[in-house]
Structure 1
Amino acid sequence: MRWLALLALCCVALAGCAAGAVRPAAPDTAQERARILVMLRAAPPHFLPLDSYAGQYQSSPDHEAHRRVAMQLARKHGLVLVTDWPMPALGLDCFVMQAPRQDAVMPTVLALTADKRVESAEPMQLFHVLGKGDPLYSLQPAARAWHLSELHAVSTGKGQVIAELDSGVELAHPDLARQATQARNFVDDGDYRAEAHGTEVAGILVAQADNGIGIAGIAPDARLLALRACWQERPEASAAVCSSFTLAKALQFALERRAQIINLSLAGPRDRLLERLLDVALAHRVTVVGALDETAADGGFPAAYPGVLAVAGEHAASPLKGLLRAPDEGIPTTVPGGGFGFVDGSSFAAAEVSGLVALLRQLSPAIRPEALLDALSAAPTPGLDPPRSAMIDACAAVARASGRCACDCRAASASMSVAR
């Protein structure tokens, strides 16, 4: 075990050296906090959300007309127009405007909202991923706790599309090669790049199984949309920041590509634009998985948003009802540079649950959201105040969702009896 830990450390160190190459600067956090999202009514309905939708619309007369309105609004309120993006899922076009300073944001939002040309306006929000770094604890893989090899005999997530909204994924990693069907950068105009947190989450989700390398993802045959909506502020740290605008663009893309599962291993303040996009996703029976933020009294957004599957580790304290628990310590996964390391935190527990959802949805494609939540839920642990849900029993979840036993059949049979 010590030898494996030392090997992982060496891999991480090599990844850090590779990250030392010159890259475009990360977005300025202070500048992001002084930005405003202004929504105008959308383009005519003949602009369809296809691969080239954004490009077609942004060169169209309608876009130019909207841009003129946006520029008028910016001049009137002392703002600078930065960029824009179509949000056809909401029938809106979103314009980003820069205020001169952060304390001018809220008064300007109120003034914009009163303008009849504006559908809505809101301050730019910032979010953060929820990993706790790469501490090397004793190995505690979900593969063992969830009987993963037995589950993979009946389901591997085939046919399921998981949208990972995170920092960049190392697409050429030996255990991730060809696992992503698409990779897009919603942070800036630079090239898509590999970053720590996104690569770590991707490995837990879809790392190749039975290839003689590293680990097996929870859903190795699921297809990954690697959507870079967050950025590392420092190359040597896995911590990453996202904005409500970058997340909204990525959510819109995930909806266009008909992702069945959206993994959000991040947290931040409630945001109206993101809530509206999540409502569209949930209305189309997309499973949205969010990581619990233990520092937030309500569990944080989006985990606490109705309809989102909120996930935490075994020992996390939270009053949030319906909380799902999965392993969150000492999880081996992929890291940039082609190596492997150990991670912990609710980010990675959420990724495990997203992978498990892919297995369940492959077995029961028509499963309703309430049935899916029931399959994943466990009875509260007795004697705790407040009561705390137990860890997910993956074997029982498969039995509840599909009516078949894949592993630990005695417990699964008891679970099916209780469900009936």
Structure 2
Amino acid sequence: MSGPARRIPIALAGIALTVSLGQATAIAVPPPSIDPGRVPPNSAPSGPKTELRDPCSTTQPVGDLAQVPPPQRALDLESVWPLSTGRGQTVAVIDTGVERHSRLPGLIPGGDYVSTGDGTQDCDAHGTLVAGIIAAKRDGETGFAGVAPDARILSIRQSSNIYRETDGRKDAEGQNAQGVGNVSTLARAIRHAADFPGVTVINISEVACVPVSGGDSAMLGAAVDYAARIKDIVVVAAAGNLDSEACKASNPPTNPATPHANPWDSVTTIATPAWYDDQVLAVGSVDPDGAPSAFTVPGPWVDVAAPGTEITSLDPRRPEPTGLTDSVNGGSVQGTSFAAPYAAGTAALIRARFPQLTAREVMDRIERTAHAPADGWDPLVGHGVIDPAAAVTAELPGAVPTQDAQSAAMAIPDGPEPPDDRPRNVAVAGAGGVVALLGLGLLASYPLRRRLQRDGGETSTG
């Protein structure tokens, strides 16, 4: 997003990872390795001693409540809801918290790593916007609704750009260091969400960008692997924004002169947790015309893209059903942070309709039904823009059947009942009796006829 840093910090989204990027240099980097032994233990969320460093973010209400937001129209969600609304699914939102809102009646407090709350406080306004895109209930007075309006949200507050730790640390300008939350607390939050009963999807609209020489957190990698592989949860993460402080150094796009080059050979910046390609569905952003957004961070780990501009969602400052916003601190809402929840909501739709699919199969279905770019895959949009309707209806070649075969033993039908011959038999018998009587009568008349003939001959001589 353009404008002051306080206008929705969509790229870093509260993860305070202090790294000096220095000169970006392309280095061949293999896909990340996972050490399952580094997964953090599941413990109750707890935060450091913190305080507000600035007033909470302000929002502005939407002018035309009846208008269907452009991303919602582009994804044609109206055609999907007769088939699936995400009922029975719980999506964990690891973010800046989610405020209680009348359009999120099933909101579940998941804990707080920032302060002493329960996860349902959102001073930054970021997490509430994300949660609304995923699961806001439909309402007759507004055009906006979440992708999976019958799914539930588990809110875990893991980060904030408005809180600060009260341990006396100073930043380079002598001010208290901005923000609370880092990759370690993110790893702990992922483990906590993965072990929470009923969670089937985790949305992480938070990104930490580090140079390839800076390495990555083994604990974070183990946490996403635990969620995806051990707990069979679809983990969705934002690809990152180039206009954030940490993600200014971009990875190069595909070079037409070397179309078959390995994209991992030209990586300059790692965007985590998105770069855990086997465990995470990484989501880039597109504009209303379907073109990659100028701010989306490319990378070989990008799987799909979704609308990330002209965003409308729930207003954390107005909990009534018509409480919607498209502006925070005077700036429009945009970024890969808001593209990711469109993919997370789509995952909830698929899991509700096809509960037999594994997390990996759900991710494959989203990728295979996306609108692919000309080259089939692109570091900015991955396999293309998601298509929720196709994702819940397509019969994919070679895919696990989306419906279990329905078969049952059928009894062999009995043969036809024998015909009722009684009327015929009675008729035949009756006819036979008549014939027999006629025959007896005829036989009995022979002697009489002969006698009459004889007597008549004796009396009538001429």
Could you tell me which runs of 5 or more consecutive residues in structure 1 were left unpaired when the two chains were aligned. Answer: 1-12, 14-26, 35-86, 99-132, 404-415
- Per the alignment, residue 189 of structure 1 pairs with 116
CA contact (8 A) 2:38 2:219 kept: no
Distance 1:394 1:185, change over 3 A: same
Deviations 1:95-140 (A, max 9, x none): x9x9xxxxxxxxxxxxxxxxxxxxxxxxxxxxxxxxxx99999975
- Per the alignment, residue 324 of structure 2 pairs with 340
CA contact (8 A) 1:174 1:213 kept: no
Distance 1:299 1:244, change over 3 A: closer
Higher relative contact order (CA 8 A, sep 6+): 2
CA contact (8 A) 1:155 1:363 kept: yes
Distance, in Å, in 1 between the alignment partners of 2:179 and 2:102 is 23
Aligned residue for 2:181, secondary structure, equals strand
Distance, in Å, in 1 between the alignment partners of 2:280 and 2:113 is 23
- Per the alignment, residue 145 of structure 1 pairs with 74
Deviations 1:180-211 (A, max 9, x none): 12342222235652330011111111111135
- Per the alignment, residue 174 of structure 1 pairs with 102
The one-letter code sitting in structure 2 at the alignment partner of 1:304 is W
Could you tell me which runs of 5 or more consecutive residues in structure 2 were left unpaired when the two chains were aligned. Answer: 1-6, 8-13, 20-36, 49-58, 165-177, 211-215, 252-268, 287-291, 327-332, 401-462
Alignment of 1:14-163 (within 5 A): 90=40, 140-163=69-92
Distance 1:249 1:207, change over 3 A: same
Deviations 1:339-366 (A, max 9, x none): 3222211001001110110000111112
Distance, in Å, in 2 between the alignment partners of 1:183 and 1:157 is 20
1:382 to 374, 378, 387: 374
Aligned residue for 1:156, secondary structure, equals coil
Q: TM-score, normalised by structure 2?
A: 0.54
Structure 1 runs of 4+ off > 6 angstroms? 133-139, 417-420
Aligned residue for 2:156, secondary structure, equals strand
More strand by share: 1
Distance 1:187 1:150, change over 3 A: same
Farther off after superposition, 337-346 or 365-374: 365-374
- Per the alignment, residue 312 of structure 1 pairs with 284
More helix by share: 1
Distance, in Å, in 1 between the alignment partners of 2:364 and 2:99 is 35
The one-letter code sitting in structure 2 at the alignment partner of 1:250 is A
1:372, distance to aligned residue in structure 2 (A): 2.0
CA contact (8 A) 2:89 2:351 kept: yes
Distance 1:340 1:370, change over 3 A: same
CA contact (8 A) 1:157 1:219 kept: yes
1:391 to 363, 385, 389: 385
Q: Give yes or no for the alignment of 1:276 onto 2:276.
A: no
Identity of counterpart residues, as a percentage?
Answer: 30
Q: Give yes or no for the alignment of 1:265 onto 2:205.
A: yes
2:238 to 285, 291, 311: 291
CA contact (8 A) 1:299 1:318 kept: no
When the two chains are superposed, the root-mean-square deviation of aligned CA atoms in Å is 4.0
Distance 1:385 1:391, change over 3 A: closer
- Per the alignment, residue 248 of structure 1 pairs with 187
Q: Which entry has the higher C-alpha Rg, 1 or 2?
A: 2
Aligned residue for 1:290, secondary structure, equals strand
1:305, distance to aligned residue in structure 2 (A): 0.8
Q: Give yes or no for the alignment of 1:365 onto 2:355.
A: yes
Q: Give yes or no for the alignment of 1:350 onto 2:277.
A: no
CA contact (8 A) 2:39 2:220 kept: no
CA contact (8 A) 1:164 1:226 kept: yes
The one-letter code sitting in structure 1 at the alignment partner of 2:358 is R
